[in-house]
Structures are given as structure tokens and as C-alpha cells.
Amino acid sequence: MTPIATSNGTARGVAEGRPRILIPEKVSPDGMAMLEPHFDVDVKLGLTPAELISQIPGYHGLIVRSETKVTEEVLTAGKKLRVVARAGVGVDNIDVPAATSRGVIVVNSPSGNILAAAEHTIALLLATARNIGKADGSLKQGGWERSKLVGIEVGRKVLGIVGLGKVGMNVARMAKGLGMQVIAVDPYANPDMARQAGVDLASSLKDILPTVDFLTIHTPLLATTLDLVGEEEFKLMKKTARVLNVARGGVYNEAALVKALDEGWIAGAGIDVFTSEPPKADTAASQIAKHPKVVATPHLGASTIEAQENVSIDVCTQVLEILQGGLPTSAVNAPIILPEEYRKLQPFVQLIEKMGRLYTQHFVRTKGGLVGGRNFELIYHGDLADMSNTKPLYAALVKGLVASFSDSHVNIVNATLIAKEKGIKISETHSHQAGELTYANLVTLRARAEDGRGQQIIEGYASGKRLYISKLDRFNATFNPEGTMIILHNYDEPGKIGGVGMVLGSHGINIRFMQVASLDEDSKQAETDAVRRENEALMILGIDRPVDEEVMEGLRRSEGVLDVVLVQL
Ligand SMILES: NC(=O)C1=CN([C@@H]2O[C@H](COP(=O)(O)OP(=O)(O)OC[C@H]3O[C@@H](n4cnc5c(N)ncnc54)[C@H](O)[C@@H]3O)[C@@H](O)[C@H]2O)C=CC1
Ligand SMILES: O=C(O)C(=O)COP(=O)(O)O
């Protein structure tokens, strides 16, 4: 039977008119005490998915941790729901787009438990190095095995960190305290903060794998981080290396991890999180949990008294605000634009967010660039130059730049803070320069390294509700930044289009639109040395679905192709 406790002592028949809050997981009472004077708070532990769906229609707020799956079905059933609060960081158990489309605000606690998660990582690091789990188990069985359980030291060893965000950075600082050398991979990391913490930034995961003695991942679980480390990556590691996961099950491919341990490609693992929790019988997750070379814990990263107090107070404060008509501080999906400004600024908010997304996906992936540590300039031309409140536009750029790599959900309240955290510097210029402007409005996004070198440009404009990119890097273009696109940088020579069409056609991929963007006049003139360079072009192909690496490789191998990138806008 489902145990039911009602924290305010009243049973289910709550007073009419008082908002009701459902808490189906163990959340620290500190925050709940703030809610009880205002709302009816029901703590109902161990609800099945069906029970949650049948009970949710009566509630205005739902507070969860990682165990409750807040699916589209739950959100559809929750007709009165106004807020879903995640008492923790990761929101991968919540269908955020479904919440957004139903007008339900999702909030989290972005930093309440990060110290706990970092400390747990260090606990697993030392436990794997010194066989703590095995030794304890053996002693409790009456054993006294000293020679079998000789460990390794972590001082002077190399720790590789993938994802140098809030948890990753705390792990780095702690590891430096243990005398470790720390290298990290995070294309969006703040280089200043990394330098100050004594962390070397490397440009790719594959580069660091042969070097590290320990590897730990601290990225969110996203399409781009799922199976980040698989068989190929494990094979590149030292046989003595150990891996740690206090992020999410799935960032290491679980079947590959079992194989890597069985075959001796690596020496051990410290694992806190699994693709199914608790691990389902007869899955790779359960093999990992039981593996003799693994120290496993049941998702305890955030389970400290202090972290639970922090996250509880953090999210309950926001639930209180939202249900009383105020603004949350860490909304995952709250609008970044206030209603009265909505109509006027909405197209530009969308345009600039897309320009930010395009920047990250095009320049960071193809040119091995960084977002953090770059200086961005937003230049508003035409009608836009007269807008006085451009805060939503600034927030839209931050949101676009970080959208594909972080759980830091940007809104108008937190944009400046997040930009600072990521080392992203943004200036805004209202250009009233006289001169011919082809469009009624135009936005230029210019990015430069700190020393002013390596300038990158994206320009775009809005016409009614339609958005256009009119310049990408050195190329003049006109395309709508929507859906999935392949951007090919190539020599503009006869036969190119046919070749690309053949590769896509052979994989059954439909081309929605195609456009060839040619070098702008300044760049053509600058290329005095090579006639062929004048013929450089970008080919922009709108396609009907994402393509896999095999297709991208096929395109890269086509004659005259300089580079290829897949973007999702
Ligand atoms: N086991 C547990 O109990 C806990 C687990 N977590 C997990 O830890 C994750 C990280 O949390 P925070 O540090 O607060 O998030 P964060 O958003 O501050 O940091 C994530 C970092 O990952 C980087 N990143 C994203 N994609 C990447 C890629 N492909 N390669 C390299 N770097 C990439 C981002 O640039 C960012 O710096 C959370 O999303 C959550 O899933 C967090 C708290 C407790
Ligand atoms: O905050 C996070 O992302 C966590 O993984 C913590 O999960 P939990 O609240 O302990 O179920």
C-alpha cells in the first residue's frame, strides 16, 4: 500500500480555495514549513505512475526529486498544475517542453546540492583507489585481506574532468587539494576560472583519454552527452585508469563499461547513477552495480542533510512566489520576456536566441572555438536601434549560446549571472549610423577573442514573424533559421550540389531547401593570393530529420568540401 502522510495534519479533504501541493518524494521539511501556512501540502511517498496520474488533477504544485517521472501524461492530467519544482539540479526526469506548452513553470535548485555531488565524487575517487568497498565487505565477512587489497595513491595522478560546470569545478578544486593534476574538457568552460583553479583545458575528450588516471563526467544528460564514452573511448584509456559517474546514467555507455571492466581495458569504476534506478534485473546497469571492480552507490550524490535543506528551501521559496503571482529565481522554462513587451520584441527575442544557437553549433563545433571567454557584441540597426529595453534581447543571446550544453535555464532574471558564470561578455551597441540599410531592422552578432582576434559574425533580421539569417561568417546568405540543417563549407565548383544530393539521397534524406551563400565583397577582395579561395561558398541545406555520423562522414569525404556541421535551430 502507498504510505500517505499529510504534513499539515489535515487529511485529503482540504479547505476549498487553498492551493494544493503534492510531494511524492522525500524532501527536507525545512522548505515545506514555508509552504504549510499558505497551502495544503501532501507528502505521498511511493506513488506508482498510475497513482500519480490519477491524483495529480487535484494539485496546483508538484515537488519532485529524481525518482518521479513527470511525463507528458502526468502534465496533461494535471489540469490545475502551475508549477513543477525539482528539488535538485537535473531535470531530465521532467518533460520540460510538455510543461512549457501547457504553461506550467518548471523550477530547479541549480546550486543547492553541487558541493554534495562534488564531495561524493571525491569519495568514490578515493574508494576506487583504495578498495574501500571490497575491504569493508571482506572484513564484515570475517576476512583480513591486506595483500590482496593494495591500492594506488591519487596524489600526483591525472584527473580528467568532462564538464567543468558547477559540480565539475568543485571537483577540480578538491582534486587539486589532493595534489592531483587536473585537465578538463568543456568547450563552453570559463577559461579564466579554469586558469585560476589550476585546471588545464584540453580541446577534446579523445586527446585526454590516454593520459588520465581517473576520468569523471559532470555534464547534464543531453542528446549530445548520451553515450559520450563508449567502447572506442574506453579502449583509448590506460589499463590502470578508473572512471567515475556522479552525473547521470548513460553518459558512459553501460554495456561498454561492463565490457571495459571484464576485458581489463580499465581497472575500475565508481558509479552513483544508472540508466534505470534502481537498476533493473538483467541489465547492464545491474551488472555494473554488482561488478567486483565497481564501487556503487544508490544515487547518493545529493543526499546530505545540508544539500537537502538547501534544495528544499530553494524550490519551496520559488513555489511560494509562483503560486502567489511572483517571479521564480531559477525557472527552467519561464518566459524570458514580460507580457507587455511580448508583441514588440518577440520576433527579435527569437531571432537573437537562434543566432546564439547557430553561433555555438556552427563556430564552436567546426572551428574548435570556445563560447566562454569570448567577447560578444550585439549591434542593433534600424528600428531596433531605438528600442530602450533590450534586456530580453541580451537574455535571448545568453540563452541561445548556452542552450545546447547546460541545465542552466536562462531567463530575464538570471541571464547576467549565467553569462558571468560562463565567462561570456556581451556588449550592446545601438547603431544610428546613417547609410543604406536593406532591411527595416538588422542585428549583428560579432564575437571576438579577448585579444580582439578571430572575429566571427552572424547577421539576421525579422520581417513580420519570419526570421532570416543574412550573413554567416564571411558569407552572404538568406535562410530561415528553423529545424535541422547541414552547413557545408566548400569550393563552389560545378558538380558540388549533385555530389551532396547523391550522398543524402542514398541515405533517404529529404532536402527541404538548399541555398548557396557566397563570399561577401570584402572577403573576396582580401583573398588576393588564391583564385580558388574566391570560389569558397557555404551550402545550407534544410533537411527533414537529423542525420548520423556516417552521413556526415560521407559529406566530409566529398570532393572540395572543407567542413560540414549539423545544426538544430
Ligand atoms: N548524482 C547526483 O546526485 C547529482 C547529479 N548531478 C548531475 O550533475 C550534472 C552537472 O551539474 P552542474 O555542474 O550543476 O551543471 P552545469 O550546467 O553547471 O555544468 C555542466 C557543464 O557541462 C558542460 N558540458 C555540456 N555538454 C558538454 C560536452 N558535450 N562536453 C563537455 N562539457 C559539456 C557545460 O558546458 C557545463 O559547463 C547535472 O546535470 C546532474 O545531472 C547534479 C547534482 C547531484
Ligand atoms: O540534483 C540532481 O541532479 C540529482 O541527481 C540529485 O537527485 P536526488 O534529488 O537525490 O534524487
| Candidates 3.40.50.720, 3.90.1150.10, 3.30.70.260, 3.40.50.700; CATH matching 483-568 | 3.30.70.260
Cell numbers representing residue 95 in the block: 518533460
Average pLDDT, the chain: 88
Residue position matching grid coordinates 571484464: 262
HEC string for 124-186: HHHHHHHCHHHHHHHHHCCCCCCHHHCCCCCCCCEEEEECCCHHHHHHHHHHHHCCCEEEEEC
Pocket flag, ligand 2, residue 218 (CB < 6 Å): no
CA of 217 to the centre of ligand 1 (A): 8
One-letter amino acid at 554 equals G
Architecture of domain 20-112+307-324: 3-Layer(aba) Sandwich (3.40)
Cell digits for 208? 585526454
**Atom nearest to 168 CA in ligand 1:** 13
- The DSSP secondary structure of 476-510, one letter per residue, reads EEEE---SEEEEEEEE--TTHHHHHHHHHHHTTPP
Closest to 79 measured CA to CA, from 52, 104, 97, 100? 104
Instruction: Show me where the domains of the chain are located.
Output: 20-112+307-324, 114-296, 337-473, 483-568
Q: How far apart are CA 335 and CA 411, in angstroms?
A: 7
What is the amino acid identity at position 295? V
* Ligand located closest to 193 CA: 1
Q: How far apart are CA 318 and CA 329, in angstroms?
A: 7
Q: Spell out the CATH class of 114-296.
A: alpha beta
Domains 114-296 and 483-568 share a fold: no
Say which CATH topology domain 337-473 has.
60s Ribosomal Protein L30; Chain: A; (3.30.1330)
| Residue 369 neighbours by CB under 8 Å, 6+ apart | 187, 363, 454, 456
Residue nearest to atom 40 of ligand 1 (CA): 90
Q: Which amino acid is at 283?
A: T
Tens of pLDDT along the chain (569 residues) come to: 233 333 333 332 334 589 999 999 999 999 999 999 999 999 999 999 999 999 999 999 999 999 999 999 999 999 999 999 999 999 999 998 888 777 788 999 999 999 999 999 999 999 999 999 999 999 999 999 999 999 999 999 999 999 999 999 999 999 999 999 999 999 888 888 999 999 999 999 999 999 999 999 999 999 889 999 999 999 999 999 999 999 999 999 999 999 999 999 999 999 999 999 999 999 999 999 999 999 999 999 999 999 999 999 999 999 998 898 777 888 888 655 555 566 678 789 899 999 999 999 988 765 555 666 789 999 999 988 888 778 889 988 998 998 777 666 676 667 787 888 888 899 999 998 766 677 888 999 999 887 767 789 999 999 988 999 999 988 999 999 999 999 998 887 777 777 788 888 888 898 988 888 888 776 666 555 545 556 788 899 999 888 888 888 888 888 788 889 999 99
Active site residues: 248, 277, 299
**Within 10 A of 179 (CB to CB), how many other CB atoms are there?**
11
Which residues line the pocket of ligand 1, CB cutoff 6 A? 89-90, 113-114, 117, 162-168, 185-186, 188-189, 218-221, 224-225, 246-248, 272-273, 299, 301-302, 405-408
